[in-house]
């Protein structure tokens, strides 16, 4: 399980399943085996890699978990130990996950809980072997979105992180008044699962609970160097039309 929903087209199908069948997926034989303690909310899908050689610990089947507290965990997927095989945090002195309180007067906290850190499902290149993940952090009062490439076996950075930034030509909401629309790391949340294709990592952004002004953004990065290869904005001239969620319409008396 290297990517969100198991395949690049996100259909969730495992066409090579050999272990699970109606004969063993039933009430008496199928259920929870064990659990792991982590430091924050988990929104992303766990990923799995078999037979990973962990330095000093031998080969393990590994499940990778990421949290809203900006931490990546590697656990033994067979439950042989509840202690992480490795753990990597993107927090440090002056660097935290983004508090939901940084969005006063909005419903961001209702959606994400107390903090926004790693929200989306990472993507894994098992041959590299590398796990790519995006972290949202608060760094000396500034919001930062960054792409990381971690060694699957140790959790160490393979190259320096890449701060996600860029701009396109446009006069949409949030533009600078000179025909340029910059990406705003405060307004946008990285919710879509990362994708890996043709040697590039693709990262997509939308909004914190439709908190305006926001736009749809897609960035592409070289999978080896993390150098940016492309920037695309869906609505460079969009002015940000408020679209209520169903629960908001109901609170307002709508259908």
- Which two structure tokens, joined as six digits, stand for 191? 């919710």
pTM: 0.90
Between 23-32, 37-46, 93-102, 103-112, the lowest mean confidence (pLDDT) is in: 103-112
Query: How would residue 243 be classed by pLDDT, with cut points 50, 70 and 90?
Result: very low
All structural domains of the chain:
4-8+39-251 (2.40.128.630)
Residue 14, both tokens = 């495992």
**Residues near 92 by beta carbon (within 8 Å), at least 6 away in sequence:** none
Instruction: Tell me the two tokens of residue 132.
Output: 């790519």
Tokens 């994400």 appear where? Answer: 112
Q: Rg for the chain (alpha carbons), in Å?
A: 20
Mean pLDDT of 46-65: 97
pLDDT in tens, 144-190: 999 999 999 999 999 999 999 999 999 989 899 999 999 999 999 99
> Which pLDDT belongs to residue 59?
97
- Over residues 195-222, mean pLDDT: 93
- Position 62 pLDDT exceeds 80: yes
* Residue 47 to residue 193: CA distance in whole angstroms: 11
Evaluate whether 243 touches 210 at the Cβ level (below 8 Å).
yes
77, 80, 81, 87: CA torsion to nearest 10: -30
Q: What is the mean pLDDT of the chain?
A: 91
Three-class SS of residue 12? coil
What pLDDT is recorded for position 240?
65
DSSP structure string for 63-100: EEEE-TTSEEEEEETT-S-SS-SEEEE--BTTEEPEEG
């Amino acid at each position: 399980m290297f990517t969100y929903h198991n395949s690049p087209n996100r259909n969730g199908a495992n066409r090579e399943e050999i272990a699970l069948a109606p004969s063993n997926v039933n009430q008496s034989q199928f259920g929870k085996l064990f659990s792991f303690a982590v430091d924050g909310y988990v929104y992303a899908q766990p990923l799995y890699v078999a037979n990973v050689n962990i330095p000093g610990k031998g080969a393990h089947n590994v499940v990778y978990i990421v949290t809203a507290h900006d931490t990546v965990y590697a656990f033994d997927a067979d439950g042989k130990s509840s202690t992480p095989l490795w753990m990597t945090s993107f927090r440090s002195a002056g660097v935290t996950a983004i508090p939901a309180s940084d969005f006063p007067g909005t419903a961001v906290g209702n959606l994400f809980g107390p903090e926004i850190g790693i929200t989306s499902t990472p993507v894994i290149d098992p041959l590299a072997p590398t796990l790519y993940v995006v972290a949202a952090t608060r760094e000396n009062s500034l919001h930062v979105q960054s792409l990381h490439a971690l060694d699957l076996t140790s959790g160490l950075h393979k190259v320096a992180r890449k701060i996600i930034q860029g701009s396109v030509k446009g006069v949409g909401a949030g533009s600078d008044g000179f025909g340029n629309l910059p990406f705003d790391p405060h307004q946008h949340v990285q919710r879509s699962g990362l994708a890996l294709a043709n040697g590039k990592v693709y990262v997509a952004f939308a909004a914190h609970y439709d908190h305006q002004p926001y736009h749809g953004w897609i960035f592409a990065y070289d999978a080896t160097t993390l150098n940016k290869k492309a920037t695309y904005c869906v609505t460079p001239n969009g002015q940000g039309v408020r679209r209520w969620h169903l629960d908001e319409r109901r609170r307002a008396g709508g259908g």
